[in-house]
Amino acid sequence: MKDIFTGKVVWITGASSGIGEALVKAFVRGGSRVIASSNDSAGLARVAGECSGLQGSVIAVLFDLSDTSGIDVLAADVVHREGRIDMLLNIGGISQRAMLKETPLWLDRKIMEINYFGTIALTKAVLPHMISAGGGHIAATSSISGRFGFPYRSAYSASKQALHGFFETLLLEHRNDNIRVSVIIPGRVQTAISLHALTAAGKEHGRMDEGQKGGVTTERAAEQIIRGLSRNRREILVGSTELLMLWIRKYLPPLFFRIAGKIKPM
């Protein structure tokens, strides 16, 4: 961990599991003051417990990304307690495993609420505090399926693609306020994302996909993300050979559609 993050106040969503959890531990190890958020109090307490004795500190702030009604008050409260927010890492999100013709509209909306509206609501709540403090760094988590459509992930892919538009605009509008913006683009990371992915009935998929099993570890993902943040990258690619799909989609689209079109339902 770069010592540029020592003593910094870093707010991380999705902190109770997977990539977010690994980031919390890496930042606390590096001496940051971490605000760890998710909608799972037991998970946050476990992560905080596992950070005890490390150089930095962690406090848990519970909130549901699908209910952003009190988000401005929450952000103001965090700033009041911590003094400032140097970095906001929007990591929390949920995936999907359902054909689009079977996905009811309420489920499209639910995935959009969590992945897109929850993320931008927290960002909008934190932004004025960062601007008045002289700047900060905000990251959002997309996916390689935020760069192309992908079978069984219509709402997921759409929610992630929407983040690119929002966060690129944020970067352009607030460059002069010293607001740095990064979009994290993971390929495959070994996490519980496919277990919690929503089926057409809105239930958890409950299965670990082969792709997830073969992904990079969460620790490796955290290293890649932290390196990208420390270099102020606009886009941070996370993963391994599966990231080639981004290149194939861009430069060899017929090949991309041949490969992705063969993906079978799980």
- How far is it, in rounded angstroms, from Cα 5 to Cα 228? 13
Residue for token pair 């929450």:
74
The piece of 16-24, 51-59, 130-138, 256-264 that touches ligand NAP (CB under 6 A) is 16-24
CB atoms within 10 A of CB 182: 23
* Tokens representing residue 8 in the block: 């910094």
14 belongs to the binding site for ligand NAP (CB under 6 A): yes
Contact string 235-264 vs ligand NAP (x = CB under 6 A): ------------------------------
Shortest distance in whole angstroms from residue 248 CB to ligand NAP: 17
If binding is defined by CB under 6 A, does position 193 make contact with ligand NAP? yes
192, 201, 252, 255: residue in contact with ligand NAP (rule CB under 6 A):
192
The answer to whether residue 228 forms part of the interface with ligand NAP (CB under 6 A) is no
Q: 156 to each of 130, 183, 231, how far by Cα in Å?
A: 29, 16, 28
Furthest C-alpha separation in the chain? 53
Pick between residue 91 and residue 236 the one whose CB is nearest to ligand NAP: 91
Residues 52-91 that bind ligand NAP (CB under 6 A): 64-66, 91
Token pair for residue 232? 């102020």
Judged by beta carbon, residue 17 or residue 32, the one nearer ligand NAP is: 17
Q: How far apart are CA 219 and CA 19, in angstroms?
A: 8
What is the four-CA torsion angle of 168, 173, 175, 181, rounded to 10 degrees? Answer: -30
CA distance 226 to 26: 9
Q: Mind telling me the catalytic residues?
A: 156
Selected binder of ligand NAP within 61, 125, 170, 189 (CB under 6 A) = 189
Residue with the CB atom nearest ligand NAP in the bound state = 18
Q: Is 40 in the site for ligand NAP (CB under 6 A)?
A: yes
Amino acid identity, residue 163? Answer: L
Kindly report the length of the chain: 266
d(CA 88, CA 86): 7
Is residue 141 near ligand NAP by the rule CB under 6 A? yes
3-class SS shares of the chain: helix, strand, coil, % to 5: 50, 15, 30
Q: Determine the interface stretch with ligand NAP among 92-100, 123-131, 161-169, 222-230 (rule: CB under 6 A).
A: 92-100
Q: Which is nearer to ligand NAP, 18 or 56 (CB)?
A: 18
Residues of this chain that bind ligand NAP (CB under 6 A): 14-20, 38-40, 43, 64-66, 91-95, 114, 141, 143, 186, 188-189, 191-193, 196, 212, 215
